[in-house]
Amino acid sequence: IAGITQAPTSQILAAGRRMTLRCTQDMRHNAMYWYRQDLGLGLRLIHYSNTAGTTGKGEVPDGYSVSRANTDDFPLTLASAVPSQTSVYFCASSDSAGEGNEQFFGPGTRLTVL
């Protein structure tokens, strides 16, 4: 059982390029999330999906888009990367979006935009 996988593990990207970060979970969780983690700041929610076919904007959605075509996959796309998007990106999932549901995290993708 893998839990949540993310790809790539790390990436160096030129500014202006398009990039998709992949996230797959095998726990049949309904809710999925994308966070970024920057030094000195808490995890910040980029986008979320409470169930397949639906998505929502989090605290810092600008410059990012997501899709949720099925239960397992939740890719995050940077349409035109900028240096301020240099960060560690974590995908997470939970059984549902309700009270008390712990989130399980993937190993993260370290992205550097030059």
Partner 1 sequence: GQNIDQPTEMTATEGAIVQINCTYQTSGFNGLFWYQQHAGEAPTFLSYNVLDGLEEKGRFSSFLSRSKGYSYLLLKELQMKDSASYLCAGMDSNYQLIWGAGTKLIIKP
Amino acid of residue 99: E
Give CA–CA dist 113/64, Å, rounded: 14
Amino acid of residue 53: G
Q: Any contact of residue 27 with partner 1 (CB under 8 A)?
A: no
Q: Any contact of residue 89 with partner 1 (CB under 8 A)?
A: no
Q: Any contact of residue 7 with partner 1 (CB under 8 A)?
A: no
- Picking from 34, 27, 49, 47, the residue whose alpha carbon sits closest to that of residue 95 is 27
Of 87, 90, 111, 113, the one binding partner 1 (CB under 8 A) is: 90
In whole angstroms, the minimum distance from the beta carbon of 105 to partner 1 comes to 4
Closer by beta carbon to partner 1, 6 or else 85: 6
- Which residues inside 52-81 make contact with partner 1, applying CB under 8 A? 58
Tokens of residue 98, six digits: 């309700």
Tokens of residue 102, six digits: 């712990």
Write out the residues near partner 1 by the rule CB under 8 A. Answer: 40-45, 48, 58, 90, 97-108
